């Protein structure tokens, strides 16, 4: 998925601290954003909402689930899962989030450096997310 957020990619580094360990993520949703695209949001077992950011998953500006949110179907059978929200990376927007033994969410900075891409790679090659564009 290619995502652009007003020319400014979401960052967790300026206001956050290092998140250690694992969190239990239970739900995923595609959330409409301005310009007609969507963004991927995850919810933890304590109902906190998270989204992709430069270093992994970070807290989102959304405070509650919206009526227009729809399930991110490729993640349905992967959740709930214990996920390390800050998987470590060599550069901003260059990381992989492991969903147990079944799949990995791959996040990369797009060539224009204003967007990022993500795709779900399944180990069994079934029902994965293709690389998707969001603007």
> In whole numbers, what is the pLDDT of the chain averaged over residues?
83
User: In the chain, what percentage of residues exceed pLDDT 90?
Assistant: 63
Assign residue 92 a region (left: φ > 0; alpha: ψ between -120 and 50; beta: otherwise): beta
| pLDDT of 28 strictly over 50 | yes
pLDDT one-digit tens code per residue, 87-98: 988 899 999 999
Number of alpha carbons in the 13 Å side-chain half-sphere of residue 83:
30
38 domain-assigned: yes
Whether the model pTM is above 0.85 = no
Q: What range defines the domain where residue 54 resides?
A: 2-14+21-122
Interatomic CA distance for residues 9 and 3, integer angstroms: 8
60 domain-assigned: yes
128 domain-assigned: no
Total count of domains within the chain: 1
pLDDT one-digit tens code per residue, 83-133: 999 998 889 999 999 999 999 999 999 998 888 999 999 987 655 455 544
34 domain-assigned: yes
Q: What pLDDT, on the 0 to 100 scale, is given for residue 14?
A: 41
131 domain-assigned: no
């Amino acid at each position: 998925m290619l995502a652009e957020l007003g020319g400014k990619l979401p960052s967790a580094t300026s206001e956050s601290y290092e998140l250690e360990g694992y969190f239990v993520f239970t739900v995923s949703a595609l959330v409409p954003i301005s310009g007609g695209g969507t963004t991927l949001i995850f919810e933890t077992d304590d109902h906190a909402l998270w989204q992709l950011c430069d270093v992994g998953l970070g807290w989102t500006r959304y405070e509650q689930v919206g009526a227009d949110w729809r399930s991110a179907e490729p993640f349905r059978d992967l959740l709930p899962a214990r996920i390390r929200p800050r998987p470590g990376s060599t550069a901003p927007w260059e990381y992989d989030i492991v969903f147990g033994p079944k799949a990995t969410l791959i996040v990369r900075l797009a060539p224009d450096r204003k967007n990022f891409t993500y795709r779900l790679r399944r180990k069994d090659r079934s029902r994965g997310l293709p690389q998707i564009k969001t603007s």
